[in-house]
Amino acid sequence: MLEELSRDWWVLTVRGVFAILFGLVAWIWPQITVLALLLLFGAYALVDGAVLAGSAVRGGRGPARTWLIGVGIVGILIGIMTLIWPAETGYVLLIIIASWAMVLGALQIVTAVLLRKELPDEWFLIITGAISVIFGLLLFLWPAKSVIAVIWIIGLFSLIFGVAMVTTSLRLRKLGRTLSQL
């Protein structure tokens, strides 16, 4: 397996370079990145819904078929709405993420308190819950700035990931040369 990986080292390089480019675009043009991601999501939801509904129509009978057709139609509608109204869809998605973060954080805090006698170092769970609640509140208070911040975080991750992939690919290339000399 190591020989195969070292032979195709350049694939990791290409992936890493694209990750770095995506990270740079996310940092330099965060608004364009948000719009591009929303449009990509809209296209995905539309195609996914159409494929799911289509396969359900061609499939067998019964309640599962009806359910799949319904889910496919919802995907198609969400895709169309996202493509027509990307800003509004992005805002709704942000509200869902903010709500999810706050509920998750509150439940983590409650769980830590309820399990404090059985769970050693429950304060870790309390801290992560509090961070999640604060994150959700910040998303609610400053939605536009929050979206940009999330894109910057995604961009930073993409940059780090890309550099790691390129570094790994170069190590694999060197290892491949060493293995071929043996």
Per-residue pLDDT of the chain (182 residues; tens, 9 = 90+): 667 767 788 888 999 999 999 999 999 999 898 899 889 989 999 999 999 888 888 876 767 678 888 989 999 999 999 999 998 988 888 898 899 999 999 999 998 888 888 777 788 888 999 999 999 999 899 888 888 888 898 899 999 999 999 999 999 888 888 877 77
pLDDT score at 50: 94
pLDDT score at 1: 64
Please provide the DSSP assignment of the chain as one string: -HHHHHHTHHHHHHHHHHHHHHHHHHHH-HHHHHHHHHHHHHHHHHHHHHHHHHHHHHS--SHHHHHHHHHHHHHHHHHHHHHH-HHHHHHHHHHHHHHHHHHHHHHHHHHHHHTTTTSTTTHHHHHHHHHHHHHHHHHHH-HHHHHHHHHHHHHHHHHHHHHHHHHHHHHHHHHHHHHHH-
Ranges of each domain in the chain: 2-35+86-181
